[in-house]
Amino acid sequence: MTHTSDADPLPEANHQSRSSDFSPAFSIGSLPIYGQLILAPMDGISDPPFRLITRRLGSAFSLSEFINTLDFSVQKHFQQSRFAFHPQEHPFGIQLLDNDPQRMADSAGEIYAKYKPDFFDINLGCATARIASRGAGVGLMRTPEKVAQIFQLINQAVPVPLTVKMRLGWDEDSLNYREVAEIAVANGAQAITLHGRTGKMAYRGKARWEPIAELKAYLPVPVIGNGDVTTPALARQMLTETGCDAVMIGRGAKTNPWIFSWRERSEVPPAEVYGLICYQYRAMQPYYPNGAVLPFRKFLKAYLEPYALPNNRLQAILTAKREDQLFKQLDHLFLELGVLNLNAAREVFDIYMQNW
């Protein structure tokens, strides 16, 4: 394990900067993308604070949590925070989810006019039953003609590129990823992200990477691979085996957001983990007016997982109801883990986040 003192500067993200001195890894239309590792859009996870942290650590662009345009169109269950993004997140895309092409296009036009994202991503991958069963998310892969309409209409409604995140198909009997990808590209998609599972698999079983390689060899636009990448070594393996332009990382980033700096979680010293925890918790507070303690638990559980804490101690931390109770326990834990100066650990990570 690599250790630094609590006051040492943090390692810089090991990816190409956005400086004109470097060439982009690929482009989405005319939008240059620097870097080959990307945070996946995850409902309840990819909020503005977490996205900003992963961008600082090296993620090549940011994508919002999905915007359900059915909700957006009637202003119900509609969260403004899903549209919020930091200027340093550019390129920033907003992901749209629905089963109604015209409603998606109308919403895209309104969203672009107000928020000016750099691109829009179309969700053909969400496998949650209540979404897919109404023909949205991966359910759209059962109606390829509707996919064509979505891209046609949204392309007419906004002046920025469109991308798509999709799966292999609805189930093993309908592996139509190539057909749907062709339709999307023919109607204006500028990049394809393929998750190597079907909708029925959800996140079970093993992701197949061969279809990613197939799309990369066949399509004229960038292809981003997704599925079962949890370490830098696996990211390199996917890039090598499939030839894809970039790798999108979802669940693996929860435990190790440092993966976007090509770092194993075992290489990250406790002082840096503590600094990130403190920074992220504070950054979440403006987005959660009812308090950040509860929504932060899912992140905290993942960050603490490598320490293999006794279950009773982990549960005591994760069930703390007040900020003072939570950080009293966290301070004790990280002192035990060898963080000699908690204030210095917080300050070092704050400085890291301020200096891009």
Residue 255 predicted with pLDDT over 70? yes
pLDDT value at residue 15:
46
- Residue 311, in any domain of the structure: yes
Distance between CA atoms of 262 and 72, rounded to whole angstroms? 37
184 shares a domain with 43: yes
SS (H, E, C) 255-273: HCHHHHHCCCHHHCCHHHH
What residue type is 355 in one-letter code? N
Domain count, the chain: 2
228 shares a domain with 180: yes
DSSP state of 251: T
273 shares a domain with 241: no
210 shares a domain with 82: yes
* Cβ–Cβ under 8 Å, residues 239 and 209: no
Instruction: Tokens 């830098």: give the residue.
Output: 232
pLDDT value at residue 75:
77
At residue 42's C-alpha, the angle toward residues 41 and 46, to 5°, is 75
187 shares a domain with 72: yes
Residue 46 predicted with pLDDT over 80? yes
Parallel, antiparallel, or unpaired for β 31-33 and 26-28?
A: antiparallel
Q: Range of 241's domain?
A: 26-261
* Cβ–Cβ under 8 Å, residues 68 and 103: no
- Residue 198, in any domain of the structure: yes
- Residue 106, in any domain of the structure: yes
Segment 273-293 mean pLDDT: 96
Q: Which residues have a catalytic role annotated? A: 126
190 shares a domain with 72: yes
Distance between CA atoms of 275 and 6, rounded to whole angstroms? 9
Segment 30-37 mean pLDDT: 97
* Confidence class for position 17, pLDDT limits 50, 70, 90: very low
User: Three-state DSSP class for 224?
Assistant: strand
Average of per-residue pLDDT values in the chain: 94
User: Three-state DSSP class for 249?
Assistant: strand
User: Three-state DSSP class for 63?
Assistant: strand
- Last residue in a domain, options 261, 285, 313: 261
pLDDT tens digit sequence for 132-175: 999 999 999 999 999 999 999 999 999 999 999 999 999 999 99
pLDDT value at residue 257:
98
Residue 247 pairs in a beta bridge with 37, 225
199 shares a domain with 170: yes
- Last residue in a domain, options 261, 292, 314: 261
- Residue 4, in any domain of the structure: no
* Confidence class for position 5, pLDDT limits 50, 70, 90: low
**CATH at residue 223:** 3.20.20.70
Segment 269-292 mean pLDDT: 96
Residue 244 pairs in a beta bridge with none
Q: Which two tokens stand for residue 304?
A: 């603490």
Q: Which of 72-76, 224-228, 314-318 has the least mean pLDDT?
A: 72-76
- Residue 18, in any domain of the structure: no
307 shares a domain with 226: no
295 shares a domain with 218: no
Parallel, antiparallel, or unpaired for β 246-249 and 223-226?
A: parallel
Residue 261 predicted with pLDDT over 90? yes
332 shares a domain with 222: no
- Residue 20, in any domain of the structure: no
173 shares a domain with 283: no
Residue 45 predicted with pLDDT over 90? yes
36 shares a domain with 183: yes
- Residue 9, in any domain of the structure: no
Strand locations in 21-141, DSSP E? 26-28, 31-33, 37-39, 62-63, 67-68, 92-97, 119-124
pLDDT tens digit sequence for 175-229: 999 999 999 999 999 999 999 999 999 999 999 999 999 999 999 999 999 999 9
Task: Pick the closest to residue 222 from 50, 355, 29 (CA basis).
Answer: 29
What is the model's pTM? Answer: 0.93
- Last residue in a domain, options 261, 280, 296: 261
Task: Pick the closest to residue 356 from 116, 3, 15 (CA basis).
Answer: 15
Give the number of other CB atoms < 10 A from CB of residue 243. Answer: 14
